Structure 1
Amino acid sequence: MKLVLVAVGQRLPDWAQAACDDFAKRLPPEARFELRTVKAEPRGHKAVEQLLAAERARIEAALPKGARLVLLDERGSAFTTVALARQWQQWQQQGADVALLMGGPDGLDPALKAAAQQSLRLSDFTLPHALARVLLLEQLYRAWSLNAGHPYHRE
């Protein structure tokens, strides 16, 4: 199983990119994490539906074939670190790759939302995209650490 974060928007501030790179490097090869970024549609005079449809096409092109789709959405299920670690184990048992989808400024296209098997909320707060990406990678690392028996997580 591979975890693939498919995120709309390519450029992160330097601080966020450094943090994402750090947590991605901490994950061992067996954790198999990959980041795939797709270009956000320019926010000109197009309707939101057109913007989301264009981004959906880019996201779909970046998805691993047969992957389980997990939305990162403010209305998704809340997970603790321990619950995320358990969820990771379940994903591993299922065997298919997992694609975590992070939308752009206007979210994700309704067709992607309908196709997703799961929805995950990172926080009750509204987070800037860069911070959400850092938070997700840190929590994935923490969940992996917990599953691997490392003392990174303390209760």
Structure 2
Amino acid sequence: MKITIVCAGKIKEKYLTAGIAEFMKRLKPFAQVEIREIHEEKMPDNPSAAEKEQVLIKEGEKLLKLVPEGSYLFVLDVFGKEKSSEELASSIDKLGLSGRSNITFLIGGAFGLSPAVRKAADELLSFSRMTFTHQMVRLLLVEQIYRAFKINRGEKYHW
């Protein structure tokens, strides 16, 4: 299985990069996982609604260009469906069993997602109704993908 994580912005915090690197290493026996990043668009100070919309549109276009063709697209969105770890594991397993060997998870930037990105999604997924930084979500995502593979293999999970 090939999993692509498409996201806005680079992560500078060492505690996050260390955690992400650890889970990327743990995922190697289960799947080929690749992270593709875009540079976040600059938002002006005190932006108008139109300026915010333009930034989201530009970021959205760049993000969608990084989604592999034919990939099942999960877009992480506060308005998405919340799933338990077991439900996410089941979704990944069912996609694999149905022949969908390419899965993409897309994480927007600090200002959210454009309507075009939401529309492109096969599924909108939310980790919580709470707000997290998009950098933190990347760590949570790789951990949950790893957990999903452990669940699907019936293996114990220890962190």
- When normalised by structure 1's length, the TM-score is 0.91
Q: Distance in 1 between matches of 2:142 and 2:106?
A: 13
AA of the residue aligned to 1:55: E
Answering whether residue 22 of structure 2 is matched by residue 22 of structure 1, we say yes
Deviates more, 1:81-90 or 1:40-49: 40-49
What corresponds to 2:136 in structure 1?
131
**What's 2:59 paired with?**
55
* From 117, 126, 130, the counterpart of 1:112: 117
- Bigger drift between 29-38 and 66-75 goes to 29-38
Cα drift, residue 20 of structure 1: 0.5
| 1:42 alignment partner in structure 2 | 42
- 5+ residue gaps, structure 2, are none
Deviates more, 1:38-47 or 1:96-105: 38-47
Aligned to 2:105: 100
What is the alpha-carbon distance in structure 1 between the residues aligned to residue 98 and residue 66 of structure 2?
21
Aligned-pair RMSD on alpha carbons? 1.6
How much has 1:63 moved relative to structure 2? 1.1
Runs of at least 5 residues in structure 1 that lack an aligned partner in the other structure: none
**Once superposed, which parts of structure 1, at least 4 consecutive aligned residues long, lie more than 4 Å away?**
none
Separation of aligned partners in 2, 1:120 and 1:7: 15
Aligned residue pairs total 153
Task: Tell whether the 8 Å contact from 2:110 to 2:133 is kept in structure 1 after alignment.
Answer: no
TM-score with structure 2 setting the length: 0.89
1:72 and 1:60 map into 2 onto residues whose CA distance is 13
- The answer for the alignment partner of 2:148 in structure 1 is 143
Question: Separation in 1 of the partners of 2:112 and 2:92?
Answer: 24
Report deviation, 1:124: 2.3
SS in 1 for 2:105: strand
Instruction: Write the deviation string for residues 13-63 of structure 1: whole angstroms up to 9, x where unpaired.
Output: 111011001001101244121111111111125701111111122112211
Secondary structure of the corresponding residue to residue 47 of structure 1: helix
**Aligned equivalents of 2:24, 2:12: Cα separation in 1:** 15
**1:102, CA displacement in angstroms?**
0.4
